[in-house]
Amino acid sequence: LNFGCATPEALFCLDDIALRSQWLPTLEARICVDREAQEGHHAGSPVSALSEADITDSNTVAYLCGPQPMINAATTRLLELGVKPENIFAEQFVASN
């Protein structure tokens, strides 16, 4: 799970992620922060945190949720890493009023 925000102050649901990590002992959660990353955070976006080691199976499935530019960047990176296009699913965040 790569989860991120622009700044540490914008992060949310960290307690929920920690709880899920307890329920799913194989879940690796990376908290990513673009600016002012603190200790324990990946300095950069969730896309920049993706590595070859994350794709362990030819049938890897990716679920993306975020703004369209992030979805586009993550899709490109996942394809570069060998994820099949039909195994990439996305839901775009949209601004609410």
The single residue listed with the structure tokens 């609410």 is: 96
pLDDT, tens only, 44-94: 999 999 999 999 898 999 999 999 999 999 999 999 999 999 999 999 887
Cα–Cα nearest to 62, from 92, 82, 90: 90
Structure tokens at 13: 């649901």
pTM of the model: 0.86
Coil, strand, or helix at residue 17? helix
Higher-pLDDT residue of 55 and 97 is 55
Cα–Cα nearest to 30, from 89, 59, 21: 21
How is the chain split into domains, by residue range?
A: 1-49, 54-97
Residues 7-25, mean pLDDT to the nearest whole number:
92
Is the CB of residue 60 less than 8 Å from the CB of residue 83?
yes
